[in-house]
Structure 1
Amino acid sequence: MLPLLTSAQIREADAYTIAHEPISSIDLMERASKVFVGWFINHFPDKKQAITVYCGTGNNGGDGLAIARMLTDHQYKSLNVRIARFSDKSTSDFDQNLERLQQKSVQLTEISNGGYFPEDNSAIIIDALLGTGLNKPLEDDYKRLVSFINDLKRIVVAVDIPTGFFADGEVPPDAVAIKSSLTITFQQPKINFLLPESGPYVDCLEVLNIGLNEKFIGLLNSPYHAVEEKDVRQMLKPRHRFSNKGTYGHALIVAGQAETMGAALLCSAGCAYAGAGLTTACIPQGGLIALNSYLPEIMAIVRNGAEQPRITWETFNVVGVGPGLGKDEMALALLTDILTNYKKSIVFDADALNLLSTHRSLWKCVPAGSILTPHMKEFDRLFGEHTNWWQRIQTGIQKAAEFSVNILLKNDYTIVITPAGKVYFNTSSNAAMASGGMGDVLTGIITSLLAQQYTPEEACIIGAYIHGKAGDELALPNRLNVVLPGQLAARIPATMAKLMA
C-alpha cells in the first residue's frame, strides 16, 4: 500500500531524508524541481509560449524559482517570475534560489502588500506561491492574488499543491484557492486530492517520486493508504485443480421488488461473475422469470407476498442484502429476520442501510465483521449530517471501530475504513462508470469475495479495485463515455484473470 501522509508527516519525511541520505535541503529542492521540469518540458514543449511563475517567499516559492531557472536553461524564451513579497520573512532556500536565478536573464517582478497586480498575458502560469503547510484560509493579499490568477482563466500548473488548498483536514466550503489545470505533486498524492472537495482545484493530477526515504515513510504508520495494483495482485488467490463449487462458497443475495428487480439481477450477476461457487437470490415471485432469463446459473428463494421465506441459514457462507429491497414493512421484517438468525458477515447496501438508519435498534444485531457500502447520502443518514468529506472519514473511523464493521464509502476514490482505523483509497475507476446499478454490482462482488473466504478488509479492498479496474478496461481503451453495470459485471472474470496472471 502507498502511505498517504499529512502535511506534518511530509515535513518529517523531508527532514529525515535530508538528515539520513544525507542531502542538503537546497539540493532536495533542486531534485524536486528537476523532476517537475522534466515532466513539464515533455508535456509543454513549445518554448516560445509565454510562462509566468508566481512564487511566494517560502520553500514552495523556492521550488518555483528553481523551476524558472531550469526552464531558462532549457531555452524557454518568454519567462517571467513574479514574487509575492507579502511579508519580510523568507526561507534560506528561497533566498539562495533567488540569488541563483538573478544570474540568469529572467524578468523578475516583486508584488508588495496592497500593490496592484501587473497585467499577465502568459499562456501558462506556474503556481508556486504556498505549499503544504497552509492551515487557515487565505486572507488579504494572497486571497486577492489567487482570485486575480483564477480570473485570468489560463492553463495553471501547480507545484505540489494549488495555493489555498489544504493537503489534509477540513476544506472550507468557500475556500479561495488556485484552480489548477494540472497539479504536479511530489512523492505521493495529498490526502485531500482524493476527496471531492479537490474537484474545483485539481483538474488533472500527476504524482512524481522525488526520492524521499520510503522506509521512514512506512515507519510513520499513517492510517491513510492508496491501494495500488500490486497490492491487489498479492491479495488475490488463484483457483487450483481439484477444487469445486463448494470450495468457493455459497452466497445469498436478498434484494429486489417487483419494480426494482434490476438491482437484484445486477447484484447477483456481480456475485456470480466474481467467482462465488454458488449464488442464490432471494427475490419476489414476480422476478423469477427475469432471473432465469438473465442468469440461469443463479438459484432462487422466492418471496411470496407478506409471507417470510423459509431460509436454512447455515447453508450460506455470507449474505448480501439491500439492493432494490424497499423500505416497507415487509422489507423491515425480512431484514429483522436476517439479523435475528444469521450471525456471520453480512454485506449491507442501499435499502438495508436506509432501514438501519431509521430503525436504530437493529444495530445491536449487526454481526462483527460485516460490511456497510453507503454512498454519501446513505452515510449521512446512518451517522448524521456532515459538511465535508474529511468529517465523514473521521466519523467512519469512529463508527467502524464502535460497531466492528468495515465501511466502504463510495466516491471517485472509494474509501474503505476498517475497525482497526485503517483508511484505504481505491485508485481504479473512471467517470464512465457513473451509471445507476454500479453499486449493486459492487455489492455482489464483495459478497462473492466473502463467500470465497477473503477477510472483510480484503473483500472491500479487492472488490472496489476490480470493480473500478473492469470499468477502466472497458471505458479507457475504447474511449467509451458510459459503461453499463451489466457490461462491467460480465467483464469481472477477465479482469481478475489478468490480475492473477
Structure 2
Amino acid sequence: MRNLLRAQQMRAADVYTIENEPISSIQLMERASAAFVEKLASLLPLDGLSVLVCCGTGNNGGDGLAIARLLYQVYAADVYVWIIMYNDRKTEDFEVNYQRLRALPIPIKEIAEAESYPDVNQDVIVDAMLGSGLNKPLAGNWLALANYLNQTGKRTIAVDIPTGMAADGNIAATWSSIIAEDVITFQRPKISFVFPESARLMKRFHVVDIGLNEKFIERLPSDFIEVTNQDIREILKERSPFSHKGTFGHGLIVAGSENTMGAALLSAEACLFTGAGLSTLCVPKSGFLAMNTRLPEVMLLERGKQIDVVKYNALAIGPGLGTGEKERKLLKELIFTESLPALVLDADALNILSIEKELLNHLPMGTILTPHMREFDRLFGASDNWFERVSKAKEEASKRNLMIILKNRFTFIAAPDGKVYVNFTGNPGMASGGMGDALTGILVSLLAQGYTSSEAAILGCYLHGRAGDLLAEEGFAVIPASQLIQKLPSTLGSFL
C-alpha cells in the first residue's frame, strides 16, 4: 500500500528528502525535470518538436525552465518560453534556472498583461505555471491566460498538475484550469486525479519517480491509499500441493429472476473462475436448464427452498434478483439468519436496502457492499460531488463496520478503519453490462476461500480491473463481462 498525499505533505516530503539524502533543492528540481522530459519523450517524438513552455515564477515555473533547457539540449527541440509575470515574487530555484536558460539561444517572452498574448504557433504547450499550491479558483489575468491557451487547441502537457486545478480532492464545478491532455506528476498521483470531476480538466496522468524519501512518505498520515501490484502478491495465497476442493470453500450466490438470469450466470461463472472450491447458485427453477448447460460445474439450489447457510463459507445476494415482496422477504430472512457466512450485497439487494434502510443496522460486521453511484446515493443520500460521496462512504464504513466498494473508473474501497483504498486497475473498455455481476462473483469466491472482507475487497477489485487491462493490452477496445471472466484464471496465475 502507498500513501496518497495532500499537497502540503508532498512539500514536506521534498523538504525531508533535501535535508536527509542530502540533496540541494535545485538538484531535486533538476531530477524532477529530467524525469518529466524522459516521460514526455515516451509520449511524443521530441526531436525537432516545436514546444511552448509556459512558466510561472515559483518552483513549478522553475521546473518548466529546466524542462525547456533539457528539451533543447537533449532532444534539439524547437523551444520557446513564456514567463508569466503577474507578480514580483520569484523563488531562488526559479532564478537559478532562469540564468541557466538565458545562456542558451531559446526565445523567452515575458507576459505581464492579459492583453499581450503572442500567437501560439508551436505544436505542444507545456504548462508549468502554478503547480499544486493553488487553493482558490483562477481569476483575473490567470483565468484569462488559461482560457486563451485552452482555446488554441494545442496539445497541452502539464507539469505535476494543470494550472488552476485543486490538488487535494474536491474539484468544484465552477473552477477553471488549463485543460491538459497529459499530466506528468511527481512521485504520487494527486488525490484529485482519482475523482471523476478531474476528467474535464485532464485526460490522462503519468507518475514519475523523482527519488523522494519513501520511508518518510509512508510515515505520513493519509486516509487515501493506493493499492499496488506488490500488495496483491502479498495478499494472494499460493495453493499447496495437497489442497482439494474443500480447501477453497463453498460460495453461494442468490441471484437472478426469470428475465435476468444472465446476471446470475455471470456471477456464478466469476465465482468458479476465481477459484472457489465449490460454487452454488440459488435461482428460480426456470433457470436450471440454462445454468446446467452453461456452467455444469456450478451446483443449483431452487429459489424458495430452505437455504441452510451453515453449509457455505460465503454468500452473495443481489445480481438480477428483483425487488418484489418475495425478494425483500428473502433478503430479510437471510440477514437475520444466525451464523450467516461472509456476505456480499450487490445490485437489487442494495436497492432493497435503500427502500428498507433499517436493514443497514443489522448487517454482519465486514459485510461488503458494492454500489455504483446511483445505488450509493439511494442508500446514503445524494452528494454534490465525488469527494463528498467518498467522504460519506468512509464515514458509513467506519460507523457500520462495513466494506463499501464505490465503483467508478478508479474504484474506492472504504474500510472500517477509516482508510479509502484506491484501485487503479481497469479501463474504459470495461464500461459494459455485467461487470458488476462479475465483481460480485469474484468477491464471494475470495471470501469462500478464506480471505478477510478487507483482503477480498482489495484483491477482488484489483483482479477484476487487471483482467480487463490484460485484455486491453491484447487489443480489446470493448470488453464483455463474459470475456473478462475467462481471463481471471490466467490473471491470478500471473501473480503466483
Unaligned 5+ residue runs, structure 1?
A: none
Report the counterpart of residue 311 of structure 1 in structure 2.
307
Instruction: Indicate the residue corresponding to 1:49 in structure 2.
Output: 49
Is the Cα contact below 8 Å between 2:51 and 2:77 reproduced in 1?
Answer: no
Q: Which residue of 2 aligns with 1:369?
A: 366
Alignment of 1:67-466 (within 5 A): 67-74=67-74, 76=76, 78-303=78-303, 308-342=304-338, 343-466=340-463
- Across the aligned residues of Structure 1 and Structure 2, the Cα RMSD in angstroms comes to 1.4
Aligned length: 495
Report the AA paired with residue 327 of structure 2.
A
- AA matched with 2:420: V
Q: Determine if contact 2:114/2:145 at 8 Å carries over to the other structure.
A: no
Task: Point out where structure 2 has 5 or more consecutive residues left out of the alignment.
Answer: none
Counterpart code for 2:263: A
Change (3 A) 1:286 1:193: same
CA distance in 2, matches of 1:9, 1:233: 28
The CA distance in 2 between the partners of 1:74 and 1:459, in whole Å, is 47
Does residue 40 of the first structure (1) align with residue 36 of the second (2)?
no
Distance in 2 between residues matched to 1:290 and 1:474, nearest whole Å? 27
Q: CA deviation at 1:371?
A: 0.3
Q: Residues 78 and 490 from structure 1, CA distance in 2 versus in 1: closer, same or farther, beyond 3 angstroms?
A: closer
Q: CA offset at residue 141 of structure 1? A: 0.9
Deviation at 1:40, TM superposition (A): 2.6
Q: Which amino acid aligns with 2:328?
A: L
1:279 partner SS: strand
Residues in 2 aligned to 1:216 and 1:400: alpha-carbon distance in whole angstroms: 28
Q: Displacement of 1:129 after TM fit?
A: 0.7
Q: What code does the residue aligned with 1:386 have?
A: S
How far, CA to CA, are the matches of 1:325 and 1:47 in structure 2? 58
Which letter maps to 2:98? L
Q: How many angstroms apart in 2 are the aligned matches of 1:375 and 1:80?
A: 46
2:489 is aligned, of 475, 484, 493, to 493
State which of 479, 483, 492 in structure 2 corresponds to 1:483. 479
Q: Is the Cα–Cα contact under 8 Å of residues 169 and 195 in structure 2 kept in the other structure? A: no
Does structure 1 conserve the Cα–Cα contact (< 8 Å) formed by 2:168 and 2:192? yes
Query: Per-residue CA shift, 1:247-267, capped at 9, x if unaligned?
Result: 111111011110001001101
Change (3 A) 1:315 1:431: same
Deviation at 1:115, TM superposition (A): 3.4
Letter of the 2:166 partner, please give it. F
Partner AA of 1:433 in structure 2: M
User: Could you list the runs of 4 or more consecutive aligned residues of structure 1 that deviate by over 6 angstroms after TM superposition?
Assistant: none
Q: Which amino acid aligns with 2:424?
A: T
1:66 corresponds in structure 2 to: 66
CA distance in 2, matches of 1:42, 1:398: 41
Letter in 2 for 1:401: S
In 1: Cα distance, 2:342 partner to 2:287 partner: 26
- Is the CA contact 2:439–2:464 (under 8 Å) kept in the aligned structure 1? yes
- TM-score, normalised by the number of residues in structure 1: 0.96
Q: Give the stretch that moved more between structures: 313-322 or 191-200.
A: 191-200
Counterpart AA for 2:170: E
Pick closer, same or farther for the CA change 1:474–1:37 going to 2, 3 Å: closer
